Structure 1
Amino acid sequence: MHVRQGLYALGVACGLLGLGCQKQEPPTVPMDVPAVPPPSNTVPREGPAATAPVVHQVLDVKEAGPKATAAAVPDAGRPTAQVDAAPDAAWTTAAVQKPRGEPPSVTLRSVRTGTHADYDRTVFEFDGPRLPGYHLGYVKTPVQRCGSGDDVTPPGQAALEVRFTLARAHDDQGQATVAQRTLKPALPSVLELERLCDFEGEVTWVLGTTRRAPFRVLELTNPTRLVLDVQH
């Protein structure tokens, strides 16, 4: 009898000792918390910084007047962007142009691309408060580099040429302001961009696209940009 009582007391003591040594686990973080969606009607920054804050809201071209303004979100400290629709800023496969011949040449500072739900976007950013004249349209291939006359055949089934006048892509010392002569974003519609010309007030780029897709042109200010959207 005494032996049984001793064994029972020993078991109780061991149980209490085990509870005293047991560690409390920290509360776990649930893994199924849904991600916070981005603000509605916004697009991500073009180019490599695709995960950075959004640049601006998408302008509904159909509702845009000559000076339509869209509310904007911060663009890396830049002022609120005003969005102007070009006179024929609708989806088209025909040539779009706006001639301007006022000197001096406007300097191209950057070219960047990005993809969105239904279209690919290419942005040409310039110094100063105004854009140069421009002409955009599909052209036959091969196209030629100015100066050398060398043939260039962009990838894809179509070539969309973007020509600026009066413009330049170099500084007063002759150094290129856009280092890359060729960009290969390999987007759903825009496969490649190549600079064909930077000579005597003309800057020309050609986009190799997967097909002769409709495109639209927008003018943005603060900073000065020409936006080219190509449908998927």
Structure 2
Amino acid sequence: MRLRQGLYGVGVALGLLGQGCQKQEPQTVPMDVPAVPPPARTVPREGPAATAPVVHQVLDVKEDAGKPASPAEAAWTTATVQKPRGEPPSITLRSVRTGTHADYDRTVFEFDGPRLPGYQLGYVKTPVQQCGSGDDVKTPGEAALEVRFTLARAHDDQGQATVAQRSLKPALPSLLGLERVCDFEGEVTWVLGTARRAPFRVLELTNPTRLVLDVQH
């Protein structure tokens, strides 16, 4: 009897030992893995930092000398920035979106086709006016940054708006609100309400065609 009990105990012990051998150890991640640097001539993806991963888009910006410009070379300024273009037909604005990054807030204007319309960006006096009615438009913050596109439109051939919202309130550190104040006779204008008259920079991106506006915190 004692011998049978002893053999039974040995069998249970061997069974438990076998189960322990089959248990998979959790995978560990080494702590000293170096960070992978972003590709050259790239900028962080637009979108809220809490939800958008750091995905990089290759720039295709041409300076006057024909040399590609990187984000580091794009000048921060508070002066008016303009790049006239007047070739018809008007280019259609498809979306406007915003996001925040470590040192700046970003607004992205996305267009149909392979090229951007002409543009002019700069701080303007407040209040600004709607181009059709002349009504005053109040913008949040201490400054108003105007973005004007020509030749451009924000509607389709049937007159329907291609950007459903004409007013956005992202409430980011620098960028407090956006208002579309014009879509008439080849001109599309948005005004950004900013917390202060902060330096900004302008980038041109392709695939798809976008104008990127960054405003420092």
Per the TM superposition, whether the score is higher than 0.5 is: yes
Q: Is the 8 A contact 1:131 1:226 kept in 2?
A: yes
Q: Secondary structure at the match of 1:55?
A: strand
Which of residues 15, 18, 35 in structure 2 aligns to 1:21?
A: 15
Q: What's the CA shift for 1:196? A: 1.1
Could you tell me which amino acid in structure 2 is paired with residue 19 of structure 1?
A
Give me the whole-angstrom Cα distance separating, in 2, the residues matched to 1:180 and 1:47: 17
Could you tell me which amino acid in structure 2 is paired with residue 27 of structure 1?
Q
Could you tell me which amino acid in structure 2 is paired with residue 40 of structure 1?
P
Q: What's the CA shift for 1:206? A: 0.9
Q: What's the CA shift for 1:144? A: 1.7
Q: Secondary structure at the match of 1:175?
A: coil
TM-score by length of 2: 0.79
Which of residues 122, 136, 143 in structure 1 aligns to 2:121?
A: 136
Q: Deviation per CA, 1:95-135, whole angstroms, max 9, x where unpaired?
A: 11222333322211222222223222222122233322211
Give me the whole-angstrom Cα distance separating, in 1, the residues matched to 2:124 and 2:144: 6
1:47 equivalenced with 2:47 (yes/no): yes
Could you tell me which amino acid in structure 2 is paired with residue 68 of structure 1?
K
Identity %: 69
TM-score by length of 1: 0.74
After superposition, the Cα gap between the structure-2 partners of 1:172 and 1:95, relative to the gap in structure 1 and judged at 3 Å, is: same
Q: Is the 8 A contact 2:38 2:56 kept in 1?
A: no
Q: Which consecutive residues of structure 2, in runs of 5 or more, have no partner in the other structure?
A: none
- For 1:106-121, list aligned pairs within 5 A: 106-121=91-106
Q: What's the CA shift for 1:203? A: 0.5
Q: Is the 8 A contact 1:126 1:225 kept in 2?
A: yes
Q: What's the CA shift for 1:84? A: 10
Q: Is the 8 A contact 1:69 1:84 kept in 2?
A: no
Q: Is the 8 A contact 1:84 1:219 kept in 2?
A: no
Q: Is the 8 A contact 2:74 2:201 kept in 1?
A: yes
- Alignment partner, residue 66 of structure 2: 67
Q: What's the CA shift for 1:36? A: 8.1
- Alignment partner, residue 56 of structure 1: 58
RMSD of aligned C-alpha atoms? 3.3
Structure number, greater radius of gyration: 1
Q: Secondary structure at the match of 2:9?
A: helix
> How many residues matched?
209
Q: Which consecutive residues of structure 1, in runs of 5 or more, have no partner in the other structure?
A: 1-5, 71-82
Give me the whole-angstrom Cα distance separating, in 1, the residues matched to 2:46 and 2:112: 18
